[in-house]
Structures are given as structure tokens and as C-alpha cells.
Structure 1
Amino acid sequence: MSLAFDEYGRPFIIIREQEKQSRVKGIEAVKSNIQAAKAVSRVLRTSLGPKGMDKLLQGPDGDIVITNDGATILEQMEVEHQVGKLLVELSKSQDHEIGDGTTGVTVLAGSLLEQAESLLDRGIHPLRIAEGYEMACKIATAELERISTRFDFGTGTKEDLEPLIKTCMTTLSSKIVGRYKRPLAEMCVEAVLTVADLERKDVNLDLIKLDGKVGGRLEDSRLVQGVILDKDMSHPQMPKELHDVKIAILTCPFEPPKPKTKHKVATSSHPKSQVDIDTVEKFEALRGAEKAYFTDMVRACKASGATLVVCQWGFDDEANHLLMHEGLPAVRWVGGVEIELLALATGARIVPRFQELDASKLGSAALVKEVSFGTTRDRMLLVEGCPGSRAVTLFVRGGNKMVLEETKRSLHDALCVARNLVRDNRVVYGGGAAEMACSLAVEAAAERVGGVEQYAMRAFADALDVIPLSLAENSGLAPIASLTEVKTRQLTEGDPHLGIDCNDLGTNDMRAQNVFETLAGKRQQLQLATQVCKMILKIDDVIKPNEYA
């Protein structure tokens, strides 16, 4: 630090920031980054596969999360290292684009970097390793395309939908809901196909709502062809079940405008600034005006033909009493997201002013029913039988909040898998079969490559083996023996469908075990992991503030 003066003679201090920074350069920086990535990857490795373990995460305010979802684990972990945060973003990218495979992509990236570390010790330049990884990734992606299987579900028959259901079951088999995976997979496929645009091959997952209530059994979960509102009727004497309902959706408050009483004293310029009710007659006149206002609003709803009013805002007891007296059921304090889903499902138009309410703005539903749960006072409204419904709800039950939240995360992964199959209806086989087939293809291609890149390609092939190794290890099998046996059979028999028998069914044929994975998800895993490894290998200078300086 030194003192200097500007052109006006004012002193200012020059601080040499370099003294307050730590700096790691060259190969040491690369190895330091690799160590951080390996540490994060090893945390998730035991969560891979159908026999993977769960993690218990405690938040800063004491809340508990139990999950084996890779994206959730990394999101809850407080990762301080910069490269560790890169893997967190890697998992988020996989979750955002594909929805599943977040654990696998992180484990694969950690294995690629671990193999790169041994190549660095042999004196190979990081850029040559990155180039070899890029070449190997292209070969592995082409091999995935070759071994993939395409199926057609355009007719919508049960036989056509079976591959979709089995692929979703593969996703759910590694979750806490594995014992009930078949019915849940069927619900996810039905929900996705309900809102899918098969001509454009697109699915808007925002039209599928995941909702749940603590209590009951997992088997009580159901798919509702409509919307579930976490509300009840605004008055206890209103009917609890309505048939052939005409629904009016309002975003305007069911109450009179509030008089402005900020000015308490009248002046010559504002003689009407004062609101002073000092006699019974004035109070009765004000009360009559409010009642007339309420009555006009209720009559406007009745005149439109509505038999149920859903309001985004609340209304007081007098409006509630008038609605009940006029035989017009109502629901209040419905959130904006639920309002939009209800409008999409019933075909209603959201009305911002009572003057715009007419019969053309109403939606319709075959049944609106208030459902109560057990002996508690929890109630919800089911809106079913919507014409041409473009919104559905997966209603989940669970014994406690942690089971409920983990079930929702599992169903989200299965919904994303079904969506990906609508976009690209090709699958590869799980159990590490696809990774071993890609590893064999990359090893064979490395023999034809001259230069240092062939070492990186062989390292890429060895890194792919981490997936079947982890699956075998987490299943209690001998990892190296299981991998060697299956990989040898793939090489000699030329069958890319052989994988690790994690469920101990006595066969390594993943077709017989119905273990499917989407081609899009597996391809994205390879590409994302390779890109992140290239990025980390090219970092040779790490500069950060030194808090001890």
C-alpha cells in the first residue's frame, strides 16, 4: 500500500491487490481442480442404480431432505470450490434438459477427470487429452445411435405404450417408490400423452401439476383428468358436489371499493374530503350501498349462467352470505398458477371486471367435488371431466412430508423421460450395457488413431466403465469380475444389450429385464460430461482472494 496524489493535490491510497490473492498455476492448478471434481463425484457414486443408497441432507434451518436424486443432492450441498460448483451446474443442466440421469452425468465426469489425472502424470499435455476426449465422445455418440431401438406409439394402443411405461419404470426403479413403479409409470405416461402435441413432438410439462397431501398410502395416488385446488368452498353450507358445472374465473375482488378517508378535515378547496358518519341514517345508507354493490356483483354472476365462481381474491362475510343465499357456490383465494391451469382445463376465460362477465367467458366441468382426508380438516377441490382437457394433475399420497417430496421428485423424472420419448422415440438398454458397448467401440477406434490422442481415447473408454462398475458395487456384486464377464460376452457375442444384473434375476440381457433408457438422455450425459472435462482441463491458472493475507 502506498500514498499518491492526483492533479488537484488530493491524496489517495494505492492498494496492491496481488498481495491479497492466492494463485495456483500450471499442472498444479489442473490437478487441484481435478481433485475437487473427484470429491464431488464420489459423493454421488454410491447413489447410482436401483440399489443405490440415499443421502440425508440437513439445511441451514434444520429441515431434512432424504433423496438419491443427483440434482437435489448437489443443490442442497454447500460446495465452496469453484470446480465443484461447475459439477453442480452440470447436474442442473442435465436436469433442465433431460430431467433424469443427473447422478450418472456427475459420476461420469468425475471418472473422466480421474483418468485424465493419470495421463497428466505421464506427461501428456491437457489440450491433447481434451482433443482425444472429444474424438472419443463422437465415436461413443455414433455407437449409441447404432445400438438404439426405435418404437412407434402413434396409435396409442396398450402394446405401443408398453416401451414408454417400461422406460419410466426403469427410472422409478432406483427411487423410493420402486415397489409401486408400474402404476406410477402408467400414470406418468397417460399424463404426458394427454397434454402432448404428437404432431409437433412437443410436451408442455407446465400443464401437468404435481400435488399431494400427507397421509394415506402411496397406492392411493391417482391421476386426475383436470385440476386439484388446495381450497374448499367459501361457506360451510354450500354444496360439496356439483355436476355439469359452469365456472366463472374472476381476478377482480368480490368487495366494494374502499372509501378514501385519509383527509379528516374538510377545507374550502376540498369540501368533500371528510367522511364522517355521525348518525344511524348515514350508517344505514352506507351499509345499503355496500349491500347493493354486493347484490349487483352476485346478480352479474348469476345472469351469466355461472354455477360456480372461482375468485383470485377474497371476499368478506357479507358477500359470502349473499353468495350462499343466492345458491351460488364460490371458491376464494385461488393462486395465479392454479387459476391458469383451471382456465386451460375448463376452457374458461379469466375475467378481470364484472362488466365483462358473460356466458361466453364461462368454462365447464362434469364434476366439482370437495374431498376431505381422514379425520383432519384438510379439504381439496377436484375439478374433473373437463372438455378437451389440456391440464392434468398427479395427486400423490405419502406417510410423511419427506416421502411425499421424494415421490414428487421421482415422478418429475419419470414425466421428463416420457416427454423425451415423445420428442425422440429411441431407447438404449440400461444396466451399463450402453456404456460398455460405447467403451468397446472407442477402444477399437483408438487402435486406428495415431498420435497421443489414442491414449486419451483409451482413458475415455476406461472412464465409461465406471457406470457398470458402480452399479455392480452398489448391488453387492464383485464389481471387477461382473464387469469383465459381461464386457467379454458383449465382445464375443456382439450383443449390446448385455448389462449388469443389479436385480439378481439370473440374466444379463437387459431386454429380458425391460431396462430401458432414453437415447437423448444417454447422449446428453456423454456430451455434457465431455464438455465439462474439457473446460476443467483447460484451466491452468486459478486466482482467488486470500482471506489470510
Structure 2
Amino acid sequence: MAAFPGSIAFDEYGRPFIIIRDQDKQRRLTGIDALKSHILAARQISNTVKTSLGPKGLDKMMVSADGDVTVTNDGATILKMMDVEHEIGKLLVELSQSQDDEIGDGTTGVVVLAGALLEQAASLLDRGIHPIRIADGFELACQHAVAHLEKIAELFPISATNTEPLIKVAMTTLGSKIINKCHRQMAEIAVNAVLAVADLEQKDVNFELIKVEGKVGGKLEDTVLVKGVIVDKTMSHPQMPKELRNVKIAILTCPFEPPKPKTKHKLDVTDVAKYKELREYEQDKFREMVDLIKKAGATLAICQWGFDDEANHLLLQNELPAVRWVGGPEIELIAIATGGRIVPRFEELNPEKLGSAGLVREISFGTTTDKMLVIEECSNSRAVTILVRGGNKMLVEEAKRSLHDALCVVRSLVQEPRVVYGGGAAEIACSLAVAAQADQLASLEQYAYRAFAEALEAIPLALAENSGLSAIHTLGEVKAKQSATGDPALGIDCMFTGNYNMRDQHVIESLRSKRQQLLLATQLVKMILKIDDVRSPNEMEG
């Protein structure tokens, strides 16, 4: 009974119904009032992230309940960390997350566009247009905008030898990030990492082979791309060699310890002889394990579990370097990179299951005792690791998020090599096309088309506003130039170069990302416009 927010009563026929607590004081919103409440909640979320859009966008500082501080301008991260109570607000958080999962870039833009569409929907509702007609009109307008995007998109050259075009796209993505002081270096790292694991013939990128590791200390410029695997571990014994060449690696998921009784049993040792016998048995088992590894031809053991000092010392005596407590994902990546097999039992070890690497070395950082293990020149050289450096943890984490966005954009271009121009140019071109189409319509949907065209202008407006320009004046100027010339590459000059042509500025965006933004934002707005009431399951039963 305590699960209900009120209590159950029965009518004269014995049918139960729920009496909601403080029912007389509560006011339920339904119909247009509910829609306006939803739109208001969504607009508040949208306005929060709008200031983070573009190369001049501002960062947000998020403080968790534990006091952890995150500084970022990544839309998906901001929304994920926000404590959103309103149900519609949560839908916008999911919208941003789905854009991040699918494309990896445009997480702020998609929320700003959804907020602008809902703002336009509110004014159409005030004019007495039914929400279903608005939703259907938006969907048709979106289809027209996507078709226009396809028309203005340009083919993009993807080549492993000429990486300059890809670097310029990655630089556009990183232009709004905190790491833009080493703009080109980060873009080159992202492009080289994707091309190292990409299959250009199949147009496929295996993201599992790219690992991004962060280490506090040094400068952002110290960030490097390693053709191999970096593990945040060291050799298990300080006297083991710090550099190994032409290594045969045994990758183990079995612990270096003698067999133990199950937890419900216990072993009682009552006299010295039995203790010596047990100790001798343990020694024999340790020797047997080391012999099996040596017999297989391994020159390095990487173990998922730990081992005690006795086993460690025995490994040192037998000149068998080892690494312990290596996590599951790292173990898998090492296996893929070195061409080895993960071995669950010592008895199963044989030469065919060993991985091979040209060089395994420990690297240290500055004057600290921090060390990491680098496995390079692997038999499957496609696995790569980006080692991000930075002055503090916040900077390293934001650099990792920024690199993730750049990696995702380059991956999108490998999968679909077509681009549109950034700086709001694509949105303005689509806005003009949708507005022109609205003039051809005689039905009620023409109002939704015009509203959609106006909502598309929210992105260039926000870019101009965040850059300190006169937003309306700048947008009007660019629209007039696009209308006159028909050039879809004219956008907002956020960097004050005096040139509105994004083609000359090399501000390029993936068509896939832009198309996904339009489709996802429209789908969400359509869903919200069809919600006219929110009730808990208990109330529905009542």
C-alpha cells in the first residue's frame, strides 16, 4: 500500500480507485498548456548549451555531488552531468547522447536546433494550429532540408597518402575545443590514428583498436600517437629489464598461485612437517608454472591477476619479466595487437598462442615515479594508442573528449566521404531552400515550413552571438549574399578573417553529422508535440 502516493478507496460496486494525496491542491496540465510547459522546459535546456556553440563558445564548469569538477564545452558531457528533473529535459539529454553515440560530433548543435524548433512550434500553437499539423509539417520540411543537404554536399577525397583534407576537417571539429592551441598537432594525431585502423576499401573503421590514455603532467604538445599499446603498469619487479626486444608474450588470465580450496573448505596445518610439505608443494607449483611459460618460448608474461612476492622473485630468478594486474580491455587489446591468444590455463600454453612485439619498454614521466609500459612494433600494427598529456586532470579529460570528437568525425568521413560547409553555411542554405518551398505550398503546412526555416537560423545566430558579432545584422548579410550568389559555402565569419566563404577558410563538416542533427532534432520535436499529458502509472490505473 505504501507504494502509492495516496490511498485506495472503493466505489459502490466494489471497484478500487486511487485518491491522490493533496489532490484538491494539485493542478494537472493537459492539452496546449502541457505542450507549452514541455516546450518551456526544452528551451531552458537548449539555452543552457547554446552559449557553448562554435569556436568562440564558452565552457561550462560542472561540479558533481562529490565535489569533482569538470570543465567542458562538449554538449553531450554537459547534459549528461546536469541534474535534469523534467521529463522533457531528460529526452533532450538522450537526444544529445544518441547524436554522440552515432556520430560523435554535433551534440550541442542538435540540442540548439531542437530548442529552436520547439520555440517556433510554440508560436504556431498560439496561432491556433493543431500540434499534429505542426509535427507533420516539420517532418516534411526536414525531408526537404535533408534533400537539399544531399544536393549541396561535395565529394571528399579520402587517401592514406594525402591526409591534408582530413586534417582540415578535424581542425574544424577541434576549433571550438580547449585544446585549439595545438590545433593542427591534435588533428594530425586523430587522422593518423583513424587511418591506421581503417579499411579504406570496405569503408570501415574498427574503433576498438584505438585507445586514448591520459597522463597528468607535461604540456598538451607532448601528446603522442603510439603505434602499439600503452598499459598503465610497470614490470612486476623493479630489477626486471626496462626494455625488451623481439618479445614473445604469454597473455594469461590465470593467477600465479597454487590451487586453493574452495571458500567453504579450510586447510588446517597442525605441525611443522605438514607446513614444510605445503610450502614445498607451493614452490613446486610455482616452478611448474614458470617452466611451462619458459617451455612455450615466452620472454614476457602479462597476467590479468596479481601474484605474491615469492612468485615474483622466482620469475626474476628465471629471467622471465612479467606484468601483473593488467585490466580486461587492455588484455584484449594486447592480444589483438600482438596476434596472441588469451590463455586461461598454464597447461594450454604453446608457441602458437604467444603474441609477438618488436619492442616493449617502460617510459617514465618527468621527475615523478610514474611509469607506463609501451608495446610497439606489434605483429598486427593496426592497434594504436594516443597518450594525452596535460597540466592537470581536467585538461587531460577535456583533451580526451575533444580527440574522441575528432576521431568520430574522421571515421564518419571514411564511412561516407561527403562534406558540407560549416560556420552555419549549410543551415542557411537549407533555411533558404525550405522557405522557398513554403511559398509553393497552398496547404496549412506552409506555416510549419516557414517556422522550420526560421528555426534553422538558430545555429548561425548562436555562432554570431557567441563570437561577439551583431547576430541579426550578420545573419541578414550572409543570407542576402547566399541568395544572390547561390553559394552554399557562405557562413558566419566567427574568426574575424573578413571572409564569409567557408571554403576558403577550410571550415568543413561531415554531411553525415549534419543530416543526423536534422533528423534527430525533428523526430524528438515531433514526439514532444504529440505529448499532451504526463501521468504516473498509478494515476493511469486510477
Give, in angstroms, the shift of residue 310 of structure 1. Answer: 0.2
1:493 equivalent to 2:498? Answer: no
Answer whether contact 1:90 1:532 (CA < 8 A) is retained: yes
Identity of aligned residues (%): 64
| Structure 2 equivalent of residue 220 of structure 1 | 222
Q: 2:161 aligns with which of 157, 164, 180?
A: 157
Whole-Å separation in 2 of the counterparts to 1:291 and 1:381: 29
Give, in angstroms, the shift of residue 6 of structure 1. Answer: 13
1:411 equivalent to 2:412? Answer: no
Q: 1:88 aligns with which of 93, 97, 112?
A: 93
Whole-Å separation in 2 of the counterparts to 1:242 and 1:53: 47
Alpha-carbon spacing, 1:340–1:263, altered in 2? closer, same or farther (3 Å)? closer
Give, in angstroms, the shift of residue 275 of structure 1. Answer: 3.5
Answer whether contact 1:208 1:392 (CA < 8 A) is retained: yes
Amino acid at match of 1:391: A
- Map 1:371-520; keep pairs closer than 5 Å: 371-520=363-512
- Map 1:280-319; keep pairs closer than 5 Å: 281-319=273-311
Answer whether contact 1:24 1:543 (CA < 8 A) is retained: no
Answer whether contact 1:251 1:351 (CA < 8 A) is retained: yes
> Secondary structure, in 3 states, of the residue corresponding to 1:451?
coil
Answer whether contact 1:344 1:389 (CA < 8 A) is retained: no
> Secondary structure, in 3 states, of the residue corresponding to 1:137?
helix
Give, in angstroms, the shift of residue 184 of structure 1. Answer: 0.9
Alpha-carbon spacing, 1:485–1:12, altered in 2? closer, same or farther (3 Å)? closer
Answer whether contact 1:133 1:460 (CA < 8 A) is retained: yes
Answer whether contact 1:132 1:453 (CA < 8 A) is retained: yes
| Structure 2 equivalent of residue 138 of structure 1 | 143
Whole-Å separation in 1 of the counterparts to 2:78 and 2:211: 23
Amino acid at match of 2:213: D
> Secondary structure, in 3 states, of the residue corresponding to 1:23?
coil
Whole-Å separation in 1 of the counterparts to 2:194 and 2:186: 12
Whole-Å separation in 2 of the counterparts to 1:491 and 1:15: 61
Could you list the runs of 5+ residues in structure 2 that have no partner in the other structure? 1-6
Whole-Å separation in 2 of the counterparts to 1:2 and 1:232: 64
| Structure 2 equivalent of residue 276 of structure 1 | 269
Alpha-carbon spacing, 1:262–1:484, altered in 2? closer, same or farther (3 Å)? closer
Whole-Å separation in 1 of the counterparts to 2:367 and 2:526: 58
With the length of structure 1 as denominator, give the TM-score of the two structures. Answer: 0.93
| Structure 2 equivalent of residue 246 of structure 1 | 248
- Map 1:32-111; keep pairs closer than 5 Å: 32-111=37-116
Answer whether contact 1:250 1:353 (CA < 8 A) is retained: yes
Give, in angstroms, the shift of residue 509 of structure 1. Answer: 0.7
Amino acid at match of 2:146: T
Count of residues paired in the alignment: 531
Amino acid at match of 2:90: K
| Structure 2 equivalent of residue 198 of structure 1 | 200
Answer whether contact 2:336 2:380 (CA < 8 A) is retained: no
1:357 equivalent to 2:362? Answer: no
Q: 2:189 aligns with which of 171, 187, 190?
A: 187
Whole-Å separation in 2 of the counterparts to 1:35 and 1:5: 39
Whole-Å separation in 2 of the counterparts to 1:284 and 1:142: 81
Alpha-carbon spacing, 1:263–1:58, altered in 2? closer, same or farther (3 Å)? closer
With the length of structure 2 as denominator, give the TM-score of the two structures. Answer: 0.94
Whole-Å separation in 1 of the counterparts to 2:230 and 2:116: 44
Whole-Å separation in 1 of the counterparts to 2:538 and 2:53: 37
Answer whether contact 1:207 1:341 (CA < 8 A) is retained: yes
1:323 equivalent to 2:315? Answer: yes
Whole-Å separation in 2 of the counterparts to 1:224 and 1:461: 46
> Secondary structure, in 3 states, of the residue corresponding to 2:368?
coil
> Secondary structure, in 3 states, of the residue corresponding to 1:405?
helix
Answer whether contact 2:225 2:385 (CA < 8 A) is retained: yes
Whole-Å separation in 1 of the counterparts to 2:293 and 2:202: 39
Whole-Å separation in 2 of the counterparts to 1:3 and 1:202: 61
Answer whether contact 1:344 1:390 (CA < 8 A) is retained: no
Could you list the runs of 5+ residues in structure 1 that have no partner in the other structure? 265-273
Answer whether contact 2:42 2:115 (CA < 8 A) is retained: yes
Answer whether contact 2:11 2:17 (CA < 8 A) is retained: no
Alpha-carbon spacing, 1:157–1:3, altered in 2? closer, same or farther (3 Å)? closer
1:525 equivalent to 2:531? Answer: no
> Secondary structure, in 3 states, of the residue corresponding to 2:382?
coil
Alpha-carbon spacing, 1:260–1:89, altered in 2? closer, same or farther (3 Å)? closer
Whole-Å separation in 2 of the counterparts to 1:167 and 1:262: 61
Whole-Å separation in 1 of the counterparts to 2:448 and 2:116: 13
Give, in angstroms, the shift of residue 194 of structure 1. Answer: 1.3
Give runs of ≥4 in structure 1 deviating > 3 Å. 1-7, 11-15, 17-22, 259-264, 544-547
Give, in angstroms, the shift of residue 2 of structure 1. Answer: 6.8
| Structure 2 equivalent of residue 15 of structure 1 | 18
Query: 531-540 or 427-436: which moved more?
Result: 531-540
Whole-Å separation in 1 of the counterparts to 2:311 and 2:138: 69
Answer whether contact 1:22 1:544 (CA < 8 A) is retained: no
Alpha-carbon spacing, 1:543–1:366, altered in 2? closer, same or farther (3 Å)? same
Give, in angstroms, the shift of residue 18 of structure 1. Answer: 8.7
Whole-Å separation in 2 of the counterparts to 1:116 and 1:259: 68
| Structure 2 equivalent of residue 270 of structure 1 | none
Amino acid at match of 2:525: C
